[in-house]
Amino acid sequence: MNNAQLKVRIDSLQASHTTDGTLMVSGEASFKYYDRGGFQVRPIPFQSYGEAAVTLNNSGVGAIHVVSGRLNIFKPNDANPNHRMLLTVERTIVVGGQDASP
């Protein structure tokens, strides 16, 4: 398990509730990084529960967040030939609206 802090743009999100009534938000975000002489944008799937999920859900698609959480990296298998990542957001702060870039 790796801890990660990223500035991300929310590209999609789906909200649901767990069996005990806790809000759960999952979806896809994107972040920028510098590689080989230029900036690249990479999507990353995420999930969140509780207070962070409420903040993500209220801000909606297109909002810019600084998130902190656990980054899980999964090994390739027969169904997924490449490594996969999942960011579990534990804390988030909204830093921009829908017209800003990550």
Q: Looking at the DSSP assignment, which residues form a beta bridge with residue 7?
A: 66
Confidence of residue 102 (pLDDT cuts 50, 70, 90): low
Q: Per the structure block, which two tokens stand in for 99? A: 């017209």
Please calculate the CA angle 3-18-94 and round it to the nearest 5 degrees: 45
**This prediction's pTM:** 0.84
Q: What is the per-residue pLDDT for 36?
A: 87
Question: What single string gives the DSSP state of each residue in 8-22?
Answer: EEEEEEEEEE-TTS-
Q: Give the pLDDT confidence of 53-98 residue by residue, as tens digits.
A: 999 999 999 999 999 999 998 888 888 788 889 999 999 999 987 6
Domains by residue range for the chain, with CATH: 2-96 (2.40.50.140)
Length of the chain: 102
Q: How confident is the model at residue 46 (pLDDT cuts 50, 70, 90)?
A: very high
